[in-house]
Amino acid sequence: MAQHQTSGMSVGQGAALTIGAVLGTGVISLPAMAAAIAGPASILAWLALVLLSVPLATTFAALGARFPDAGGVSTYARLAFGNRAATAVGWLFYVVVPVGAPPAAAFAGGYVADLFGGSRTTTVWASAVIIAGVAVLNWFGVRMSGRVQLGMAAVLATLLVVAIVAALPHADLGHLTPFAPSGWAAVAPAAAVVVWGFAGWEAVTSLTAEYRNPARDVPRAAMVAVVVIGVLYLGVVSASILVLGPRTGISQAPLAELLGMTFGTPGRVVTTLVAVLLTVGAMNAYFAGAAKLGAALGRDGSLPVWFARGDQAGQAPRRSLVVTTVLSVIALVATAMLHLDVASVVLVATGAFTVIYVVGTAAAIRLLPRGSWAWRTAVVSFVSVVALLVVNGTHSAWTLAVAVAAVAY
């Protein structure tokens, strides 16, 4: 199934999409959410997830290099376990992207509302504009959105590095004590929250066929992304805890405070820019992956054939994109009207992503050459994500309903 194209995504564009998908909105507020649960010990949860990213990235890169297809994890499940498993995991990913869109967009929408002195209504409208903007960006195909993403990733990484370096002179090692005020057991639930910040490795698997040379470029892009994501996440989290101390756990957005210290009065504008870049980057990658996946599911009979247009490399899957966008807007309206808690929605989404990881890594164990390094990383990844699934608890239960509906279809 290997492909080689004279045109397509470059390693830089693919790495930028991956960085956007994984880094995403997590860096804005997750340091506070994790610190509120485990205190300074929450950094161990971040370190564990960074280390887990290495085998996860290696596993999905190996699958993408060998089986470049718009179906992504759904294709791997089909090859390893058959059509029913493929349909179930495909539906789950296709549904969870709209579920995760409202809280993702709301992270940036909140900053926009704060900057202009708006209310919750402003946040909702800003979120709707972000969703619409990402949809328009993907209307012209993943290669166009990949070019835009590369520029956004460069600006974002520069701003984050400047903020981290400028904040470090204010660091105080005394902020590390007590290191585990809620006990060591609190690190596990903190990790369950932090999973949101590391979901994304599975999203870009649906874009592997878009690379110029998937067998060569997919692993390279994944390794670039792992290094950049690990450095930026650990840098922001460490700086937040060392500089802000106990305020990290009660801050609405520790990153905003770091940026404010770095950029002074214009810090709010810079913070809003970073929030929007992070959000658009993550949603761009997820919308691109979900749109391609929907087209592949239509092609393979897991969704009506109407979805199938645009499943080939280089084509824009506009029908599937429209459905993803409409579902995201419906989810946004429901979230606003029902006043749903963002943290709860995040946990529901991460529960689904963890299930997708379990299926993807299990498929990798069956599909990758036994005894190879890629196969070994798949085994490590599988054991790790099963542990994460246990930690996530009941927040993954709703995925069973999606699986039953998919199999019934």
* Distance from C-alpha of 175 to C-alpha of 269, rounded to nearest angstrom: 28
Q: What element of type H or E holds 172?
A: none
Does 222 reside within a domain?
A: yes
How does residue 345 score in pLDDT terms, banded at 50, 70 and 90? confident
Taking 80 as the threshold, does the pLDDT of residue 147 lie above it? Answer: no
* Torsion of the alpha carbons at 285, 376, 395 and 349, rounded to the nearest 10: 0
What's the CA gap between 171 and 293, in Å, rounded? 45
Q: Is the pLDDT of residue 245 over 50?
A: yes
A 10 A CB-CB count for 357 gives 27
**Neighbour tally for 136: CB within 10 Å:** 12
State residue 346's pLDDT score.
Answer: 73
Tokens representing 316?
A: 């824009």
Mean pLDDT across 284-288: 83
Percent of the chain with pLDDT strictly greater than 90: 13
Name which of 91, 71, 87 is nearest 292 in CA terms: 71
Q: What is the mean pLDDT of residues 297-305?
A: 86
275 token code pair:
């929030």
Q: What's the total number of domains in the chain? A: 1
Query: What does the mean pLDDT of the chain come to?
Result: 83
Above 60 in pLDDT, residue 4?
no
More confident residue, 83 or 258: 83
pLDDT at 229 over 80: yes
Is pLDDT of 297 > 80? yes
pLDDT at site 276: 83
Tell me the residue length of the chain.
409
Indicate whether 365 belongs to any domain.
no
Nearest to 43, CA basis, from 244, 227, 226? 244
pLDDT band at 123 (very low <50, low <70, confident <90, very high): confident
The whole-number average pLDDT for the span 301-306 is 86
Q: How confident is the model at residue 252 (pLDDT cuts 50, 70, 90)?
A: low
Q: Which of 21-30, 135-144, 178-187, 205-214 has the highest mean pLDDT?
A: 178-187
The model's pLDDT over 311-336, given as tens digits with 9 standing for 90+, comes to 676 677 888 889 999 999 998 888 88
Burial of 366: CB neighbours in 10 Å, binned 0-12, 13-18, 19+? middle
2 band by pLDDT with thresholds 50, 70 and 90: very low
Average pLDDT for 181-193? 85
Written as six digits, the tokens of 150 are: 């590369």
Residue 357 lies in a domain: no
Whether the pLDDT of residue 1 is over 50: the answer is no
Residue 176 belongs to a domain with what CATH number?
1.20.1740.10
Determine the Cα–Cα distance for residues 366 and 371; give it in Å rounded to an integer: 11
Does residue 376 form part of some domain? no
Terminus-to-terminus CA distance in the chain, angstroms?
A: 28
Of 140-144, 150-154, 293-297, 377-381, the range with the highest mean pLDDT is: 377-381
249 within domain boundaries: yes
Across 337-361, average pLDDT: 80
Domain for residue 329, yes or no?
yes
Of 78 and 117, which is predicted with more confidence?
A: 78
What does the pLDDT read at residue 146?
65
Q: Which two tokens stand for residue 252?
A: 């609405």
Q: Is residue 387 in some structural domain?
A: no
Residues 363-401 pLDDT 10s:
999 999 998 998 999 999 999 888 878 877 777 778 888
The yes-or-no verdict on residue 337 having pLDDT over 80 is yes
- Asked, for residue 347, whether it belongs to a domain, the answer is no
Q: Give the structural domain span for 64.
A: 11-73+100-339
Exposure string over 99-121, b if 16+ CB within 10 A, otherwise e: bbbbbbbbbbbbbbbbbeebeee
What the block records as the tokens of 361 is 């890594």
